[in-house]
């Protein structure tokens, strides 16, 4: 049994791609998209007809509406391949506007519902800013389930759990990137072997969140994301979900090395941990106090915003 099938015994595997043609070979349960993945997908020659048809069908509508139609068009294609859910992201440029995030999320869900897709099969992705988390609180109460993304800090995870968010996506690889860069730029050494697996800072972040949720009975699902190597994935076997790029899914399929469960809900529920809560001032201070999380959250929003603008330009050019 290859490692991908072994992993599926412990964890729900999610494909991290906007390319629905890649999905079938990995048989994932769910799929996630983001502005960068959708931008990459629409530039593929095979997807040009879908993009052109969608834009033409909604000619004359405001640009943001056409963009949402494109996002949903790709999501609908993905849902023909995966049996579970697709995550579709609200424009990152709205990350600090609760009302605008709510409006965009409701519209995305309405478009899916108009196409015959029920709410159980869609997750609305929102950046885990304070404003985004409060939008998710309202959406969850309305039955619109959310995937809070660009999550780097423990305080973000705690606030998401308190808001009743369905799923969070802590970014393993980007946390790893930051710590490695800090070690190198400060003149220190980065021992790749010593900081691998359970000692990887990104892996440790996800494990801390997972343990906290299970200890306090928080039903929010933890989906590790943004992996740099297979070792980060196997170190989190047992996590609720893991969203994995096609390249790393292929690497898992190519290996038959034994894989063991690393995270266990029953064991985590017995952990000796203090209860934690963050109001808005406490959240903002805790996030500010975490240099890694502050920098990576801002960087992630900026990068997604750039790719959203590029997608806008492509659509306007058709």
Helix (H) or strand (E) holding 222: strand 221-224
User: Phi and psi at residue 225, in whole multiples of 5°?
Assistant: -145, 170
Question: In a 3-state reduction of DSSP, which class is residue 89?
Answer: strand
Give CA–CA dist 90/275, Å, rounded.
31
Asked whether the beta carbons of 119 and 143 are under 8 A apart, the reply is: yes
**Alpha carbon separation from 114 to 52, 74, 119, 295 (Å, rounded):** 20, 15, 11, 38
Please compute, for residue 227, the number of CA atoms within 13 A of its CA located in the half-sphere on the CB side: 30
Asked whether the beta carbons of 7 and 259 are under 8 A apart, the reply is: yes
**Alpha carbon separation from 11 to 29, 238, 243, 248, 306 (Å, rounded):** 10, 5, 10, 15, 33
Instruction: Write the CB contacts of 314 (distance below 8 Å, at least 6 apart in sequence).
Output: 39, 42, 43, 51
Give CA–CA dist 313/24, Å, rounded.
30
* β-pair partners for 32: 16, 87
Give CA–CA dist 147/157, Å, rounded.
12
User: Phi and psi at residue 82, in whole multiples of 5°?
Assistant: -95, 145
Active site residue 8: no
Asked whether the beta carbons of 162 and 216 are under 8 A apart, the reply is: no
Q: Which residues are catalytic?
A: 125
């Amino acid at each position: 049994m290859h490692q991908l099938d072994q992993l599926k015994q412990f964890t729900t595997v999610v494909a991290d791609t906007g390319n629905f043609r890649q999905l079938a070979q990995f048989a994932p349960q769910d799929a996630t998209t983001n502005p960068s993945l959708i931008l990459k997908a629409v530039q593929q020659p095979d997807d040009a007809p879908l993009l052109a048809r969608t834009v033409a069908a909604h000619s004359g509508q405001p640009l943001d509406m056409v963009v949402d139609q494109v996002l949903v068009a790709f999501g609908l294609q993905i849902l023909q391949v995966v049996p579970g859910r697709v995550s579709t992201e609200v424009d990152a440029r709205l990350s600090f506007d609760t009302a605008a995030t709510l409006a965009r999320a409701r519209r995305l869900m309405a478009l899916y519902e108009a196409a015959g897709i029920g709410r159980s099969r869609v997750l609305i992705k929102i950046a885990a800013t304070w404003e985004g988390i409060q939008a998710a609180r309202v959406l969850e109460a309305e039955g619109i389930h959310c995937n809070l993304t660009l999550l780097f800090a423990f305080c973000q995870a705690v606030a998401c759990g308190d808001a009743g968010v369905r799923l969070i996506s802590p970014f393993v690889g980007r946390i790893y990137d930051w710590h490695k860069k800090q070690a190198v730029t400060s003149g220190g050494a980065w021992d790749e072997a010593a900081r691998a697996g359970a000692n990887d800072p990104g892996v440790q972040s996800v494990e801390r969140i997972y343990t906290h949720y299970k200890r306090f009975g928080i039903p929010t699902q933890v989906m590790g994301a943004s992996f740099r190597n297979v070792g980060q994935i196997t170190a989190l076997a047992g996590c609720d979900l893991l969203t994995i790029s096609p390249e790393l899914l292929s690497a898992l399929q190519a290996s038959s090395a034994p894989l063991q469960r690393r995270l266990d809900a029953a064991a985590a529920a017995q952990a000796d941990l203090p209860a934690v809560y963050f109001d808005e001032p406490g959240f903002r201070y805790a996030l500010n106090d975490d240099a890694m999380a502050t920098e990576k959250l801002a960087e992630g929003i900026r990068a997604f915003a750039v790719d959203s603008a590029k997608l806008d330009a492509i659509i306007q050019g058709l």
